[in-house]
Amino acid sequence: MRLLVFGATGQVARELRARAPEARFLARQDVDLTDPAACAAAIATSDAEAVINAAAYTAVDKAESEEALALAINGAAPGAMAEACAARGLPFVHISTDYVFDGSGDAPWTPTDPTGPLGAYGRTKLAGEERIRAVGGVFAILRTSWVFSAHGGNFVKTMLRLGAERDKLTIVADQIGGPTEAGDIAEACLTIAAALAADPGKSGTYHFAGAPDVSWADFAREIFAQSGLSCAAEDIPSSSYPTPAARPGNSRMDCSATTAAFGIPRPDWRKGLARVLTQLNEGSS
């Protein structure tokens, strides 16, 4: 399958490149994500048989002061991509986020639950989802959470850096979710793209997150344990670590529909963490 991927240097895009090196990857210098027409043209003039959007504005806190920019990238661009894909009958896989929910309660969110983003980032990602669904083509919106990898900036790499410098760190313990390794997300995107090509009736909104659900503090403890760091993690509430953008307290995701439709089980993030640590160690040796 000839793939066109929006994104080249992000966590998921880099993992996609490792698994589908023959795909065409569009970096920022190749297409302006703030220009919906340019995004649509890239699809219209390609020989792609499926499109994956692994590009996004992901600076959660900065989005509070740059919502217009975030909306262009996370809202308008995916809508234009979906329209261009629908015009050619191409499957379109788009990555979204748990931030479209308000984080209330403690039950895992299902794809059909009411949304209610707490901040600009979540609002712009939800706008993208709504535009894709409105087009009505062949698509899968894949909401995921707490992405980590050996690339770029993420919680795992931050904990490794700070854990090597300090004896103790205070970590938020009242936000619960499923850490998800970018390689697992890339695998899921490829599987879903192929499945949509074979059965367009599987179009819809899906969830994909690592298991088991944990707090950020417990995630940190596992990072320290697997990496051999003696740093301790002390539980604190979110109120003790204020940020410009509010974070959802409950990011648990019900992924059963994804398993039923595509045969993709929730991945064990602890195994993904072990792979990432191995990659980081090999990269530093």
Judge whether 159 lies within some domain: no
- Terminal Cα distance for the chain, rounded: 36
Judge whether 219 lies within some domain: no
Q: pLDDT tens-digit profile of 183-242?
A: 999 999 999 999 999 999 999 999 999 999 999 999 999 999 999 999 999 999 999 999
Q: Is the pLDDT of residue 276 over 80?
A: yes
Q: pLDDT tens-digit profile of 121-177?
A: 999 999 999 999 999 999 999 999 999 999 999 999 999 999 999 999 999 999 999
Q: pLDDT tens-digit profile of 14-38?
A: 999 999 999 999 999 999 999 999 9
Q: Which residue among 57, 99, 121, 206 is the active-site one?
A: 121
Q: Give the residue numbers spanning the domain of 96.
A: 3-154+179-209+251-267
Judge whether 244 lies within some domain: no
Q: Is the pLDDT of residue 283 over 90?
A: no
DSSP string covering 104-131: -SSSPBPTTSPP--SSHHHHHHHHHHHH
Alpha-carbon 175 to chain mean position: 17
Task: List CB contacts of 128: < 8 A, sequence separation 6 or more.
Answer: 74, 75, 77, 78, 79, 94, 96
Q: d(Cα 46, Cα 21) in Å, to the nearest integer?
A: 17
Number of domains in the chain: 1
Question: Residue 17's pLDDT is what?
Answer: 97
Angstrom distances, CA of residue 265 to CA of 19, 151, 184, 191: 19, 24, 10, 12
**pTM of the predicted structure, to 2 decimals:** 0.96
Judge whether 47 lies within some domain: yes
Residues in the chain: 285
What is the gyration radius of the CA atoms in the chain, in angstroms?
18
CATH of the domain at 120: 3.40.50.720
Q: Which long-range contacts (CB under 8 A, 24 or more apart) does 198-204 make?
A: 200/91, 200/138, 202/140, 202/261, 202/262, 203/137, 203/138, 203/139, 203/140, 204/111, 204/139, 204/140, 204/141, 204/257, 204/261
Question: Residue 284's pLDDT is what?
Answer: 60
- Please name the residue that has the structure tokens 């490149």: 17
Judge whether 282 lies within some domain: no
Judge whether 214 lies within some domain: no
Task: List CB contacts of 183: < 8 A, sequence separation 6 or more.
Answer: 15, 18, 19, 149, 272, 275
In the chain, what's the furthest Cα-to-Cα distance?
56
Is 121 an annotated catalytic residue?
yes
Q: pLDDT tens-digit profile of 62-115?
A: 999 999 999 999 999 999 999 999 999 999 999 999 999 999 999 999 999 999
**Rounded-to-10 torsion of CA 136, 189, 116, 250:** 160
Which amino acid makes up residue 226? Q
Q: d(Cα 183, Cα 20) in Å, to the nearest integer?
A: 12
Judge whether 218 lies within some domain: no
Q: What is the mean pLDDT of the chain?
A: 97
Judge whether 233 lies within some domain: no
* Cβ neighbours around 13 below 10 Å, total: 26
DSSP, res 98: G
